[in-house]
Structure 1
Amino acid sequence: MARLPLVEPKDAPEAVRDALERLPVQLNIMRTMAHAETCFRPLLRLGSAILGKQSLDADLRELAILQIAALSSARYEWTQHVPIAQGAGVR
């Protein structure tokens, strides 16, 4: 059960709403993180840099994320990243 309600884009401040609406996929984790209004857009830039603008190949990155998720019993992270890993070629 979530401890915080999900931020509805229509109810969010303009900058947060715009950032949420530009996301290619509407993940609940992002709608939860949107409660941190002043940190939300910088967080998105950090996530973009980590996931898309590094020299680590996508399949290796996703294997590392899944390994840490398994070791940490992080079910949410595992559930979110299995399809991403499969899309990156991990079988």
Structure 2
Amino acid sequence: MKTRILLIGLIIFFVNVISVNAQVIKNGSCPGGWNSSGKYCVPGNNAKAIVPKNGSCPGGWNSSGNYCVAGSSAKAIVPKNGSCPGGWNSSG
């Protein structure tokens, strides 16, 4: 059980670190907290995690232009390629 909780915590941490600290290719206007820099959106100091929107945003994520922005109850998300692994669900 402790291993599973640790694994989930690490996944959430790394998804948020990757999403917030990485620049994202700009597609329209950058969401709030993100700044335009050439062809990219780059995070500001308190930027929330974003991912490019492909259909509707998953639960806990809010739509902002062409992006999904992490809300306060956002869970970790990864792009779907095939079926979801055990414990993960398809959304969006």
Judge same fold: TM > 0.5, yes or no.
no
More strand by share: 2
**TM-score in terms of structure 1 length:** 0.32
More helix by share: 1
Which of the pair has the greater relative contact order for Cα pairs under 8 Å at 6+ separation?
A: 2
**TM-score in terms of structure 2 length:** 0.31
> Higher Cα Rg: structure 1 or 2?
1
